[in-house]
Amino acid sequence: MDGGGYSGLGSEYGYANDGNGFDPYFTQYYEADIIGQQYTFTYFYGNGDNYSGYGFAPLGTYTVGQLPDYYDNETGTQKGYYVINSVEDGATGTKDYVQVTSYTDADTGFGETTSIYSGSGYYGLGSEYGYAFNANPWTGDTYFSRYNEADLPAALKVQVTAIFM
**pLDDT tens per residue across span 93-150:** 888 999 999 999 998 888 899 999 999 999 999 999 999 998 777 778 899 999 999 9
- Over residues 32-51, the mean pLDDT reads 89
pLDDT of residue 74: 93
DSSP lists the bridge partners of residue 120 as 99, 129
Largest CA distance in the chain: 83
For residues 33 and 143, which has the higher predicted lDDT (pLDDT)? 143
Task: Give φ, ψ of 44 to 5 degrees.
Answer: -110, 125
pLDDT of residue 88: 95
User: Would you say the pTM of this structure is higher than 0.75?
Assistant: no
Q: What is the DSSP letter of 141?
A: B
Q: What is the DSSP letter of 150?
A: P
Lowest mean pLDDT segment, chosen from 6-20, 26-40, 97-111: 6-20
* pLDDT class of 25 with cuts at 50, 70, 90: confident
Say how far apart CA 102 and CA 90 lie, in whole Å: 25
For residues 115 and 25, which has the higher predicted lDDT (pLDDT)? 115
pLDDT of residue 23: 53
**Mean pLDDT comparison of 20-24, 80-84, 131-135, 137-141, highest-scoring range:** 80-84
3-class SS of residue 86: strand
Provide the mean pLDDT of the chain: 85
pLDDT of residue 59: 87
Say how far apart CA 92 and CA 103 lie, in whole Å: 25
